[in-house]
Amino acid sequence: MAKQRAEPFLWLLFSAGGVVAALLVPALLLLFGVLFPLGWITPPDHDHLRAVAAFPLTRLVLFGLCVLALFHWAHRFRYTLYEGLQLKHLHRVIAVLCYGGAIAGSAAAAYLLTAGL
Amino acid sequence: MTVKDAPGGYTDFHPRWYRRPMPVFWWVRRRSYLAFVARELSSVFVAWFVAFLLLLIRAVGQGEAAYQRYLDWAANPFIIAVNVVALGFVVFHAITWFNLAPQAMVVRMRGQRVPPSMIAGGNYLAWLVASAIVIWIVLA
């Protein structure tokens, strides 16, 4: 019962995470994952990046991005395992691992964006 | 227990429903199925990106030397390869997500339905603006 009431809320998180991931992740991944490592663009220096990251609005956006993107993953991956690999009988373990992972990641993000910066 | 003895005249054992067994890799048979699974799998790369981003934030918080170590680690060919694949999946996610938006959002203005192409266009415009802001903030 409780699970059925949680489902619309989880779907909302999934959907919000999908929007945020679609809007922000490609540009960030292109810069930090591909262009900087390949040396095509010089990465920003440490002081600039730290100043940007420590700005309150950036912290908030980064935290929201991490939390929503993680719950987006948790929800979608849960169904990938259920249907793609036909593991429906393991639904409890899978749900705990997916949402537990998202909660752990969100806690890590909260710590790194407050005490860590 | 016979049919006659059972309460209501039924046995406790009803025949198992017939279900055609599905092979585990049912989704490789058709392009549209494969696209569906690719879309679902894009979420794994979204999660990988969050981990990659959190490591960056940690390194930036720890100082200059840690940031340099992070940049060196990210320049490892294996990590670059993972990120190139991840970028492909994330862009695929973005495109399929924005193309789906008109079906999820039915907007009406003065009693007229806003054409789906305009809603998709608005989403792509938002993507462009958000990407430009991100790149500007990081590089400025």
Contacts of A66 in chain B (CB under 8 A): 50, 53-54
Distance CA B22, CA A60 (A): 45
Asked if B134's CB is within 8 angstroms of A86's CB, the reply is no
Least reliable range by pLDDT among B23-37, B90-104, B124-138: B23-37
- What pLDDT sits at residue B113? 85
Share of chain B above pLDDT 70, in %: 90
- What pLDDT sits at residue B134? 97
- What pLDDT sits at residue A99? 96
Asked if B130's CB is within 8 angstroms of A70's CB, the reply is no
Of all residues in chain A, the one with the smallest CA distance to B90 is A26
- What pLDDT sits at residue A25? 98
Among candidate residues A60, A57, A74, A96, the one with its CA nearest the CA of residue A9: A74
> Is the CA virtual torsion A96, A98, A99, A103 positive or negative?
positive
Domain residue extents for chain B: 32-104
Asked if A18's CB is within 8 angstroms of B53's CB, the reply is no
Helix, strand, coil percentages in chain B from 3-state DSSP, rounded to 5: 70, 5, 25
Contacts of A18 in chain B (CB under 8 A): 93, 97
Asked if B49's CB is within 8 angstroms of A28's CB, the reply is yes
> Is the CA virtual torsion A91, B47, A18, A65 positive or negative?
positive
Q: Which of A23-32, A91-100, B21-30 has the highest mean pLDDT?
A: A23-32
Q: What is the mean pLDDT of chain A?
A: 92
| pLDDT tier for residue B105 given thresholds of 50, 70 and 90 | confident
Of all residues in chain A, the one with the smallest CA distance to B132 is A27
| pLDDT tier for residue A45 given thresholds of 50, 70 and 90 | very high
Asked if B79's CB is within 8 angstroms of A32's CB, the reply is no
Contacts of A84 in chain B (CB under 8 A): 27, 37, 40
What is the value of ipTM here, to two decimals?
0.93
Please compute the mean of the pLDDT values over residues B34-50 and round it to a whole number: 93
Q: Class of B32-104 per CATH?
A: mainly alpha
Please compute the mean of the pLDDT values over residues B66-79 and round it to a whole number: 97
Contacts of B68 in chain A (CB under 8 A): 46
Contacts of B29 in chain A (CB under 8 A): none
- Which position has the higher pLDDT, B65 or B14? B65
Among candidate residues A103, A98, A100, A28, the one with its CA nearest the CA of residue A61: A28
- Which position has the higher pLDDT, A88 or A37? A37
- Which position has the higher pLDDT, B108 or A24? A24
Distance CA B94, CA A22 (A): 4
Residue B3 has pLDDT above 70, yes or no: no
Least reliable range by pLDDT among A49-53, A54-58, B34-38: B34-38
CATH number, domain of A106, equals 1.20.1300.10
- Which position has the higher pLDDT, B84 or B109? B84
| pLDDT tier for residue A85 given thresholds of 50, 70 and 90 | confident
Distance CA B86, CA B92 (A): 10
B23 part of contact set with chain A, CB < 8 Å: no
Contacts of A86 in chain B (CB under 8 A): 22, 24
Of all residues in chain B, the one with the smallest CA distance to A23 is B127
- What pLDDT sits at residue A110? 97
Q: How many domains does chain A have?
A: 1
Of all residues in chain B, the one with the smallest CA distance to A45 is B64
| pLDDT tier for residue B23 given thresholds of 50, 70 and 90 | confident
What are the φ and ψ backbone dihedral angles of B112, each rounded to 5 degrees? Answer: -105, 140
- What pLDDT sits at residue B6? 52
Domain that holds residue A79: 2-114
> Is the CA virtual torsion A42, A48, A54, A55 positive or negative?
negative
B81 part of contact set with chain A, CB < 8 Å: no
